Chains A and B, each alone.
Chain A
């Protein structure tokens, strides 16, 4: 429908960062009075698209139209002028100012050039009551829960803009009741004729509130469709790019002989993070973890490693019960952890490749028994070579290396500690093909050497190739464990997509 009038439309948007194409001729149309979900895995281009629609970025190609007229959005204020308001996951308000001030900041009603506080608070009260909030507008915003702040942010965006509301992961830090309340407000706004863009990682919420869905993958538009004629499986398949026939087994080799039990997590969990799960891990096996972003995969990895402490359940290592409250506990038992966000939690950018490799081993040895420079060079050289790290020198800062080589450095760091159990969170994301192959090869080699591994990955083909077992996470819960013939992309997609009450057997 090329002549359809959209409240907000993006036509053929192209955005390039360096030599990376973030958005490749993406079309996006938003009707008045609809809730439109925008879905895609990390790096799909969701946030880039939103930033272009709100004027934070300028497109390198294509154009943005509001009510059929081309508009040029140089900054978020202009977008507001065109009726486009945005609410982010992290509430972008001033917690130490009053609710009314936050609602009207920059647009305060004035009298004789001064802020008319009474009028402002009166108007704030009327506006808030429309959103079902009976709170004192003169009280500090920070005193209220994130949910209330979120609603105030929405009220502000709607009052200032009034045509289009973009909600960027608004539910990420809300509990079930709060989410329901938010949805009521969204439905209400929809009935008032607003166009709402809704970004989330929770599929249940998409189906609960959205009318249409647009799916992006690797910067390309995959599909825009009404949700009525789509199943969860369709959505997940489009997001992950798996055009798989649901044919059952793909001829995976027989289950390898399992080693003895290394780890046993029973009823292990952490409130507001991961529901209690049970998992037994044997020597010489790779457990793949599948699930969408935000499904609790990373949270599970973090409590296994003690980066966040579990507050429920028990863990035993080699049959002995123990506690893992912090990473040093885990490392003592021979654990290692390659985090998902390499830059923020993995590498020490300014330190050398050599130091980055020896640091965990040195941490294990303690500060007093220092490895001298020659020992460090020997260790770094040995593991660097085994992992094929391409660095001009072991003394160069690790931040100058490519992403793939940085990942190899972090893997080497743990291999140097002679681990028994490795947790790898998205070890192959965002790295070049060569490094990718090297890391997959290493995972296979380590498994054959008798290590136990937990590998989290969005690359289903890859998970299927090296996993002895696969666990599926959804909504912060372990929902399925797949063995043998069930280790294939089709079954995984189905398990990820399945609704709570049509649980996989």
Chain B
């Protein structure tokens, strides 16, 4: 039992996360120090959790999409839209719950729209979601009428910056979402169906899986998650910035999912490992920031990481180190 747990912990993603954290510790000896102050935890690690939460939430939605051999490029723009909707509604005097609910509905509708294009009209996901990636930011700017809409609503601000049990609210939301989505896909047959559609959609349809409905669900979930991330980011800066909220975050989310071991060719996926992927990215960001390197380094280090992941997943590498999967099966 413990051996099984150990072998689970010894997967490449967790080792990579540990590696990045260790490097951070060398560069910045106080990296692991966590203090308790004013009823909340402080420290670089907590920072990683807090700052990494939006991308982690996007990755939770994105992983299902990528597992079906798709991709959702629109999540950054959907974040901006959701933030704009929530901000303008509270500024217009609506209570925060209404504003949040409206933003979530907008995100869900965006996701369903993507799902409609992909599942019903059979448009390639990268093109289908590009539509909303471009249009979404425009719609967000229309909603905010081109301004940064600032607000003072305490509930929204709490969602972005508050704490719960000493942990940043954003991290708490990400953890709750992680647990819920993981249970949803693993305790029902949804996970199996998603993987089946991703591995072979034709065979899935012949085996009696309603692949179109399933695609609608996964894109809908991705839009919903993007809306949550958008609300958090808006609450964090106390305003909706249609131009910059969520900008390029879709790429970080995709990277997180890929680092988490889900292939862009679809199939096997893991929600927790996608979140670990998001934490790896954030740990690098934070590490570079606290160690005093100029932030430009960030892009280069990230590029190097992408390169490394691609090499590891390339057909060449799987040929050189071929027998990992079967060997594990045989030893059982």
Contact = CB atoms under 8 A, between A and B. Distances in A.
Nearest to A348: B199
B149 to A, nearest CB: 40
A410 to B, nearest CB: 9
A351 B205 CA distance: 16
A359 B202 contact: no
Contact of B203 (A347, A365, A366): A347
A398 to B, nearest CB: 10
Interface in A46-85: none
A367 B211 CA distance: 12
Nearest to B266: A350
Contacts of B202: 344-345
Contact of B206 (A337, A368, A369, A396): A337
Nearest to B202: A345
A348 B326 CA distance: 17
A331 interface: yes
Contacts of B267: 350-351
A350 B268 contact: yes
Nearest to A341: B202
Contact of A351 (B196, B209, B210): B196
A370 B208 contact: no
A397 B199 CA distance: 12
A490 interface: no
Interface in A328-382: 328, 331, 337, 339, 344-351, 355, 359-360, 362-371
A392 interface: yes
A328 B213 CA distance: 13
B330 interface: yes
A307 B206 contact: yes
A413 interface: yes
Interface in B301-332: 325-326, 329-330, 332
B31 interface: no
Contacts of B190: 367
Given A328-B210, A348-B196, A392-B330, A367 B188 contact: yes
Residue among A307, A327, A348, A370 with max Cβ neighbours from chain B (10 Å): A348
B329 A392 contact: yes
A363 B325 contact: no
B210 A370 contact: no
A393 interface: yes
B10 interface: no
Contact of B193 (A328, A331, A345, A363): A363
Interface residues of A, number: 36
A345 B206 contact: yes
Contact of B199 (A326, A327, A350, A396): A350
Given A328-B210, A370-B187, A359 B196 contact: yes
B332 A395 contact: yes
A396 B329 CA distance: 6
B124 interface: no
Nearest to B263: A350
Contacts of A346: 203, 206
A400 interface: yes
A393 B209 contact: no
Nearest to B195: A351
A362 B194 CA distance: 13
A305 interface: yes
A393 B210 CA distance: 29
Contacts of B210: 328
B189 interface: yes
Nearest to B184: A367
Interface in B144-196: 187-190, 192-193, 195-196
B205 A307 contact: yes
A360 B330 CA distance: 26
Given A331-B208, A346-B203, A363-B208, A370 B188 contact: yes
B208 A364 contact: yes
Interface in A394-448: 395-397, 400, 413
B203 A367 contact: no
B11 interface: no
Contacts of B199: 348-351
B200 A349 contact: yes
Interface string A27-54: 0000000000000000000000000000
A367 to B, nearest CB: 5
A305 B200 contact: no
A400 B328 CA distance: 14
Nearest to B199: A348
Interface of B: 187-190, 192-193, 195-196, 199-200, 202-210, 267-268, 325-326, 329-330, 332
23 contacts: A327-B205, A327-B207, A328-B208, A337-B206, A339-B203, A339-B206, A344-B200, A344-B202, A345-B202, A345-B206, A346-B203, A347-B203, A348-B199, A348-B200, A351-B199, A355-B196, A359-B196, A360-B207, A363-B193, A363-B208, A363-B209, A368-B189, A413-B207
Given A339-B203, A348-B195, A362-B193, 5 more contacts: A347-B200, A351-B196, A362-B189, A363-B207, A367-B193
Interface of A: 305, 307, 326-328, 331, 337, 339, 344-351, 355, 359-360, 362-371, 392-393, 395-397, 400, 413
Enumerate the 7 nearest inter-chain pairs by beta-carbon distance, A residue then B residue, closest first: A363-B208, A331-B208, A370-B189, A348-B199, A396-B329, A367-B189, A360-B207
